Structure 1
């Protein structure tokens, strides 16, 4: 709902003048009051409206984004805690999922109600907002949370423990056990100025995912096997990314977390439809080498590819020579552009960057390098492993491995058909 719709629904519920309620709501928002808190404040101001009737009791599966507020009885599945900045102010919030037999729903609590995973609660006068197209409950000062003695049975796991492969963007209050494969310390331009963070790659036996530690924990070190409690998951380049906050608990494990060396193999169409993957293996035929392959030049400031000495961000620059390949991979279910960096391109080309520059000078044409690469790879079948991202510009696989397929194609086709039909 937008502000006008929210004000109209609230005025109708309260039996108050629509324009008066809208003006009051806009006034509160101008003072950076969160909208759900503003709505509850107006409910108190107007006496609840309609004789002060309590919000309707709803099953979670029946809550929609059209609801202003509801009362639900549910089991707490997860509880996360972190600090956010909302309209200029910092808030410590509690967040996670609630569930009953009809479904589950995300929540954000702006007050510490003492929620714990497994508890059964009744949340009266819980605000409803739309979050990424789905309803979410907002528990604020006007929400009445009661802990029930009788435990509600729900068909969902309680506590937040998950493998990396099970994580989705939007998950909150999750716990994982993983090994730190890669980690680096960086200084970024944060909301309060220069901020030190850690970023890298986590892995378990199911998957590998990127992570960011916004409040660097000393135990987050390369090779460490850790239990990470109270993490939240965002989307990063189309894939889930694990985020650690100041409230995340990091505990070294007394065992090594098992990690698979192989990436999950997917059909191209399936992988693209899933929206991306941080570590995936695709197999297909190389149909073409795209423009922008072979010898290229990059901006020395931002590393973007430049054209005719011009960078889109930094204007005229002295370009830095580099090599890459952008190749169309097709397996019959879909296509993807496989992007090879300098190291992989040198392997395919059979020479170094210096060799490629000399080749282009001798021919007086830099395109001969891309043409030579195309002659070597087009029409052959390759196994490509890397990070798949999908956006409005298409599907791109940033390759970390690029190998000519030598396995029996008939056997691979049968395996692919079995996977697709499963």
Structure 2
């Protein structure tokens, strides 16, 4: 694929994201920088050409900490909008996408923050997914074992896991339990993907996580993004990219699978300080 096409994609993406960047971010995401990023995805990581634009755009939105709700709202009526028909939860895998889903409230959890109205698990025939409803959005109270159609909810990705965010633009329609729309048996999500490791992403290997028992965020520069300064606890993971020759798939190996794949395990001494060491057979 010639560079002119990548250049055109870079120009289009720049037009979309530039209004949402701060002044000190402008040079980091100018057309030249975006073209280099497209080239890396397509020619180094071998992301399929027809998937590269969404992949690069999602990367930029996350790295630049762009308000995704405002971003997608600005494109409504353009190339990005909510799905008209309910999308199976198993297909809600595009970070920042606006979707419509029909799902049953499987489980409700106790919110840890006043800013969260409700949090829990929703499910349909294809699988289950976490959801969060923000207090500031003034959503209705959802009940367990009840099916709802959620319009204009946003898919969010964190650490390889996807969730749904209910926002101020979301519309929620309740369905009677004996109605045709009601979800019966909720499925689980299992995917098998075989391919070759073509890249190991940053923040892989030996990492530190927040010591708060309810937080799993990675410590960066001695701080948790939610709980501030934190010494952290050691953990192992691999964030990688698999390629089967036709498509690529990002994957996350937790500590147990990382130990199996690499032959390295996580051990600790008497002071609770973790260290990675090779497996001894």
Pairwise TM-score range, normalised by the shorter structure: 0.3 to 0.5
User: As a proportion of its length, which structure holds more helix?
Assistant: 2
| Higher RCO (CA < 8 A, seq sep 6+) | 2
TM-score, scaled relative to structure 2:
0.45
